[in-house]
């Protein structure tokens, strides 16, 4: 049973007991919050080894971390009892390296693979997952160089946790605040491979819908369903009980996922409502916006003249689910062909979604890989092109963090 405060959303957290966590602390005012993080980690039963950059020691004394972790703090390449090999030994047997706060300078070092101090060297020498919790002034966060480094780090498989937006130590307001220690704690089980969505009921829609015009013809779109199926798989991997409501596709059901097949938007609407209440609803389907208001009972015969079809709007499943009093955590998708950020953010606000995934349809449809941007209250988070399953796993990690 979990050691974390109850989220009220049915997630059962996996224990951190006996996990070996290397907590890296770099130079920034948020270093004082890392002391609380060390305390929470120890309280949760983790074995904590702290490593500090030289700049971090200017903000908080190593003795504070030594007292909290019960172990001498690693500070320099040339000190310690590791015969000059601390940078190699430190991450051996470690389950996770978490650098919090991670300064702009440290992110730049990581992105370049530099190893000129103990913390950067041990990050390079590690074989376990690495997570960073950036903390810096909003302009430093927004700087092209920092954003370039983040794209590189994500592509290298580094988990980027946050930052949050809000008041900053410098007096400015914007993105760049380190996530609170409790928020970081909530993200750790997932990074350690534990069930990020354990105990959660997740409903995913996928594929196109098909709206009949007559018994042999209909309106549909080019959605292959691959992204939705990948999302269902990633949610199941994360420990959720997953129902996949799927329009017509030729894909195999992911392992452990229950699939409900539908054809039309109306059927998808009914199937989704039948699955409520749930904890998370992820609407990936490319639902046809319109249907013919009077599908012909027999095949329409060809004539020399034109054919007028009267189309009526379909129910917006996602908007309806998100507006319910018992609304689950809702995630939308926006496939645009231009002005992605503008249209996607407008859609997120209109449908009142905490998270929306944007992509350029022409770059994604029918492909095995996708380039995505996640939009949430903290801004836009690009996910550089990767396999759809890898993107789906990143999406699940991100939404699990937002739900906490």
Binding residues for ligand C5P, rule: CB under 6 A, are 205, 265, 283-285, 287, 314-318, 332-334, 347
Is the CB of 153 or the CB of 355 nearer to ligand C5P? 355
170 is catalytic: yes
Is the CB of 284 or the CB of 383 nearer to ligand C5P? 284
Identify whether the C-beta of residue 162 lies closer than 8 Å to the C-beta of residue 174.
Answer: no
Q: Which two tokens stand for residue 299?
A: 């095949």
Burial class (CB in 10 A: 0-12, 13-18, 19+), 33: buried
Distance CA 275, CA 281 (A): 10
Q: Is the peptide bond before 163 cis (omega within 30 degrees of 0)?
A: yes
Alpha helices for 19-84 (secondary structure H): 31-43, 54-59, 62-69
Is the CB of 22 or the CB of 265 nearer to ligand C5P? 265
C-alpha distance from residue 249 to each of 5, 16, 252, 334, 357 (Å):
41, 40, 9, 19, 21
Angle (CA) 276-278-279 rounded to 5° is 155
3-state DSSP helix/strand/coil % of the chain, to nearest 5: 35, 25, 40
Q: How far is the CB of 223 from ligand C5P (least distance, A)?
A: 9
Q: How far is the CB of 357 from ligand C5P (least distance, A)?
A: 8
Distance CA 271, CA 277 (A): 12
Q: How far is the CB of 176 from ligand C5P (least distance, A)?
A: 29
Distance CA 373, CA 363 (A): 13
| Three-state secondary structure of 365-388 | CCCCEEEEEEEECCEEEEEEEEEH
Is the CB of 158 or the CB of 318 nearer to ligand C5P? 318
Is the CB of 41 or the CB of 321 nearer to ligand C5P? 321
Q: How far is the CB of 284 from ligand C5P (least distance, A)?
A: 6
What is the β-pairing status of strands 379-387 and 369-376? antiparallel
Identify whether the C-beta of residue 236 lies closer than 8 Å to the C-beta of residue 255.
Answer: yes
Residue linked to tokens 């290298």? 156
Is the CB of 59 or the CB of 281 nearer to ligand C5P? 281
Is the CB of 12 or the CB of 363 nearer to ligand C5P? 363
Q: How far is the CB of 165 from ligand C5P (least distance, A)?
A: 24
Q: How far is the CB of 27 from ligand C5P (least distance, A)?
A: 41
Q: How far is the CB of 314 from ligand C5P (least distance, A)?
A: 5
- Listed residue (136, 130, 158, 182) closest to 21, CA to CA: 130
CA dihedral 109, 113, 116, 121 (to 10 degrees): 110
Is the CB of 211 or the CB of 237 nearer to ligand C5P? 211
Q: How far is the CB of 264 from ligand C5P (least distance, A)?
A: 11
- Listed residue (65, 69, 126) closest to 94, CA to CA: 126
Kind plus residue range of the DSSP H or E element containing 202: strand 201-206
CA gyration radius, the chain: 24
Catalytic residue among 123, 128, 170, 250: 170
Residue numbers annotated as active site: 170
């Amino acid at each position: 049973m979990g050691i974390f405060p109850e989220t009220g959303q049915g997630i059962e957290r996996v224990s951190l007991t006996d996990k070996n966590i290397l907590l890296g602390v770099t130079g920034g005012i948020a270093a004082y919050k890392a002391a609380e993080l060390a305390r929470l980690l120890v309280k949760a039963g983790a074995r904590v080894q702290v490593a500090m950059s030289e700049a971090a020691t200017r903000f908080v004394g190593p003795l504070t971390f030594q007292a909290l972790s019960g172990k001498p703090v690693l500070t320099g390449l040339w000190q310690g009892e590791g015969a000059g090999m601390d940078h190699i030994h430190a991450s051996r047997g470690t389950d996770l390296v978490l650098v919090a706060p991670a300064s702009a300078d440290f992110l730049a070092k990581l992105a370049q693979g530099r190893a000129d101090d103990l913390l950067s060297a041990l990050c390079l020498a590690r074989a376990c997952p690495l997570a960073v919790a950036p903390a810096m002034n909003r302009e430093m966060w927004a700087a092209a160089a920092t954003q370039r480094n983040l794209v590189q780090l994500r592509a290298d498989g580094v988990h980027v946790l946050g930052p949050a937006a809000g008041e900053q130590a410098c007096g400015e307001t914007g993105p760049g605040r380190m996530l609170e220690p409790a928020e970081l704690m909530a993200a750790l089980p997932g990074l350690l491979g534990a069930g990020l969505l354990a105990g959660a009921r997740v409903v995913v829609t996928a594929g196109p819908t098909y709206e009949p015009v007559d018994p042999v013809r209909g309106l549909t779109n080019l959605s292959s369903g691959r992204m939705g199926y990948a999302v269902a798989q990633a949610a199941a991997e994360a420990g959720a009980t997953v129902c996949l409501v799927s329009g017509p596709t030729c894909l195999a059901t992911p392992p452990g996922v229950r699939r409900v097949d539908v054809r039309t938007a109306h059927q998808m609407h009914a199937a989704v409502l039948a699955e409520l209440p749930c904890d998370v609803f992820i609407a990936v389907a490319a639902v046809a916006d319109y249907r013919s208001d009077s599908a012909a009972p027999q095949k329409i015969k060809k004539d020399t003249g034109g054919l007028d079809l009267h189309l009526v709007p379909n129910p917006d499943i996602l908007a309806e689910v998100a507006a319910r009093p018992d609304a689950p955590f809702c995630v939308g998708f926006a496939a645009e062909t231009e002005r992605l950020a503008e249209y996607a953010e407008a859609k997120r606000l209109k449908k009142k979604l905490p998270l929306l995934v944007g992509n350029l349809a022409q770059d994604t449809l029918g492909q095995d890989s996708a380039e995505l941007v996640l939009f949430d209250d903290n801004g836009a988070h690009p996910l550089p092109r990767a396999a759809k399953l890898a993107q789906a796993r990143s999406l699940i990690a991100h939404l699990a963090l937002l739900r906490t």
